[in-house]
């Protein structure tokens, strides 16, 4: 991805910002700077940037369970805050999390925040200073800052060192470039983050959808499909977790393997339950031995309704256009006139590998009480 050209700036230095990146810190540090500058702030403290790094990583770690890097301090501090504050949900407002971070007196959290500023504020600008190599980086920070500030092409200068209270000032020409080209630069940053995170999470699907909290997802068509099944089925339709009889007034569409792992709304992973149970399950994995067979039986019940009733078949076809992105899977599972035993085997062959992969990524197991 090519960054916009500038007659005044060395864009080739900026384009190499994430070369040979082995840790996530550069991405989150630069993202924090970019957001501050776009918001109109050029002079920023280390602590403000670190707090933004933590807030930007929060949902990735707490909801998506992404691995940010080997022995990653940013990931560790997110998990530490979550452990110390069990009331903090993955969906906590960024402003509330930033307020907590700015006010906390917790020594363990502050210590980890200090760890985040050991290298990245200086090393980020290495492409702008090709003359600083090897042991030249391993000098006292005061000497290093003086050396960096003497370079004319850097992105930002240091205004003195005082731990988390240290400050930087982004040069006006770079700030103007960021504001003018913000959409392209955001896209370039996200592209590089996706490449990095995919390397760190090779078995995780939908990395591109996991950089930010999800937008509202609408499953009204799937809900309409299941409500129709409730009306035509000759026998009660029970959800799989509490085995409650479903009604059209209390129906919610659940992702068997959590959306926060799969990042899609494929039909084979969706099943109806009640609103309260869906909320209770949250982004956990339902116990396989308890619930998969129930899932298969419920899906087969809907399959039989779809084969038997034209009105249900029409609604299924409407859903299939949006919720089956792989036609091979669609015809593999919903092939005409297959017996339950084969249907269950085919569904298991699709769902179980995804389930196991989510399990390996740290998604907890859940059973309905």
Q: What is the pLDDT of residues 331-355, one digit of tens each?
A: 888 877 889 999 999 999 999 999 9
Neighbours of 115 (CB within 10 A): 15
Distances (CA, A) of 218 to 60, 260, 273, 313, 321: 22, 15, 16, 21, 15
> What is the tens place of the pLDDT at every residue in 304-325?
999 999 999 999 999 999 999 8
β partners of residue 170: 156
What is the Cα–Cα distance from 186 to 209, expressed in whole angstroms?
15
DSSP 8-class letter at 211 = S
Report whether 121 contacts 96 (CB < 8 A). Answer: no
Which residues, including other chains, have CB under 8 Å from residue 44's CB and lie 6 or more apart? Answer: 33, 36, 167, 168, 169, 170
Distances (CA, A) of 42 to 82, 154, 170: 31, 14, 5
Query: For the residues of 123-184, what is the DSSP string, one character each?
Result: HTTGGG-TT--GGGGSS-HHHHHHHHHT-SS-SEEE---BTBT-EEEE-HHHHHHHHHTHHH
Which of the residue ranges 4-13, 132-141, 288-297, 313-322 would you say has the lowest mean pLDDT? 132-141
Mean pLDDT of 52-79: 94
Distances (CA, A) of 340 to 8, 122, 240, 280: 68, 62, 17, 30
pLDDT band at 69; cut points 50, 70, 90: confident
Q: What is the pLDDT of residue 216?
A: 65
> What is the tens place of the pLDDT at every residue in 151-207?
988 999 999 899 999 999 999 999 999 999 999 999 999 999 999 999 999 989 999
Question: 312-318: long-range contacts at Cβ-Cβ below 8 A with a sequence spacing of 24 or more?
Answer: 312/225, 312/228, 312/229, 312/232, 315/224, 315/225, 315/228, 316/225, 318/221, 318/225
Mean pLDDT of 268-277: 96
For the record, the structure tokens of 6 come out as: 């500038």
Distances (CA, A) of 227 to 54, 68, 125: 42, 41, 57
- Taking phi over 0 as left and psi of -120 to 50 as alpha, with beta for the rest, 250 belongs to beta
What is the Cα–Cα distance from 201 to 362, expressed in whole angstroms?
12
pLDDT band at 288; cut points 50, 70, 90: very high
Q: What is the pLDDT of residue 6?
A: 94
DSSP 8-class letter at 257 = S
Residue count (the chain): 369
C-alpha of 263 from chain center: 9
Q: What's the helix, strand, coil split of the chain in %, to 5?
A: 55, 10, 35
């Amino acid at each position: 991805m090519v960054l916009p050209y500038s007659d005044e700036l060395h864009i080739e230095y900026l384009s190499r910002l994430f070369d040979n990146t082995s840790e996530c810190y550069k991405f989150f540090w630069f993202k924090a700077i970019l957001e501050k500058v776009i918001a109109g702030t050029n002079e920023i403290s280390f602590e403000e940037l670190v707090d933004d790094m933590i807030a930007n990583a929060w949902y990735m770690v707490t909801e998506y369970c992404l691995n940010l890097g080997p022995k990653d301090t940013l990931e560790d501090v997110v998990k530490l805050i979550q452990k110390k504050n069990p009331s903090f949900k993955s969906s906590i407002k960024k402003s509330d999390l930033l307020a907590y971070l700015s006010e906390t007196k917790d020594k363990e959290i502050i210590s980890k925040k200090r760890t985040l500023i050991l290298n990245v504020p200086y090393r980020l600008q290495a492409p702008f200073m090709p003359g600083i190599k090897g042991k030249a980086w391993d000098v006292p920070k005061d000497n290093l800052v003086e050396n960096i500030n003497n370079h004319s092409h850097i992105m930002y200068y240091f205004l003195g060192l005082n731990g988390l209270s240290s400050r930087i000032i982004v040069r006006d020409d770079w700030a103007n470039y960021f504001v003018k080209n913000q959409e392209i630069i955001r896209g370039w940053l996200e592209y590089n983050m996706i490449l990095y995170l995919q390397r760190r999470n090779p078995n995780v699907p939908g990395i591109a959808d996991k950089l930010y909290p999800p937008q509202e997802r609408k499953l009204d068509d799937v809900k309409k499909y299941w409500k129709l099944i409730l009306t035509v089925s000759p026998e009660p339709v029970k959800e799989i977790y509490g085995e409650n009889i479903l009604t059209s007034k209390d129906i919610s569409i659940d992702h068997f393997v959590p959306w926060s792992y799969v990042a899609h709304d494929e039909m084979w992973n969706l099943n109806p339950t009640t609103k309260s149970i869906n909320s209770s399950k949250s982004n956990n994995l339902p116990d396989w031995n308890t619930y998969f067979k129930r899932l298969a039986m419920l899906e087969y019940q809907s399959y039989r309704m779809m084969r038997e009733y034209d009105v249900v078949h029409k609604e299924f076809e409407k859903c299939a256009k949006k919720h089956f992105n792989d036609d091979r899977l669609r015809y593999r599972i919903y092939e005409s006139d297959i017996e339950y035993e084969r249907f269950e085997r085919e569904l298991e062959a699709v769902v179980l590998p995804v389930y196991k992969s989510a399990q390996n990524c740290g998604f907890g197991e859940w059973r309905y009480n």
